[in-house]
């Protein structure tokens, strides 16, 4: 029997075959560990991270509030760098809970998926 994380990595590989970030539409990648949440905007053609955000400096007890603030922060940074459209990469996670909150917060701030 495979572990939960191995199954996620298999789903991630399947998604990454189809999704790639370009200079016109970079990839919005979300990662969650047991303790922290991370989001990055990546240009896969050049192999560079354009914008990143994490919950290290966010002082909130609620994980949902942290996710919302990360989504808002990444959208604000993207719009400052004139990045309007992105391709959403959920990294093998289901589009529910924390991943959905990050995505919807970024959409509300003006980022287009």
Q: For 35-52, how does the pLDDT look when each residue is reduced to its tens digit (9 = 90+)?
A: 999 999 999 999 999 999
CB 25 within 8 A of CB 1: no
Predicted confidence at residue 23, as pLDDT, reads 87
Predicted confidence at residue 2, as pLDDT, reads 84
Predicted confidence at residue 60, as pLDDT, reads 86
With respect to residue 113, please indicate whether it lies within any of the assigned structural domains.
no
With respect to residue 82, please indicate whether it lies within any of the assigned structural domains.
yes
Beta bridge partners of 27: 42, 87
The SS3 call for residue 94 is coil
> In the numeric block, which tokens belong to residue 82?
């004139």
Total of domains in the chain: 1
* pTM, 2 dp: 0.91
Residue owning tokens 């991370």 = 38
Q: Which domain holds residue 96?
A: 4-108
């Amino acid at each position: 029997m495979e572990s939960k994380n191995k199954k996620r990595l298999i789903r991630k590989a399947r998604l990454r075959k189809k999704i790639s970030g370009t200079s016109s539409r970079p990839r919005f990648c979300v990662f969650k560990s047991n303790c922290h949440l991370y989001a990055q905007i990546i240009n896969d053609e050049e192999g560079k991270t354009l914008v990143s955000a994490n919950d290290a400096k966010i002082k909130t007890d609620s994980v949902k509030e942290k996710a919302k603030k990360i989504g808002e922060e990444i959208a604000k940074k993207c719009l400052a760098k004139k990045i309007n459209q992105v391709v959403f990469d959920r990294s093998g996670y289901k589009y529910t809970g924390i991943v959905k909150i990050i995505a919807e917060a970024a959409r509300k701030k003006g980022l287009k998926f």
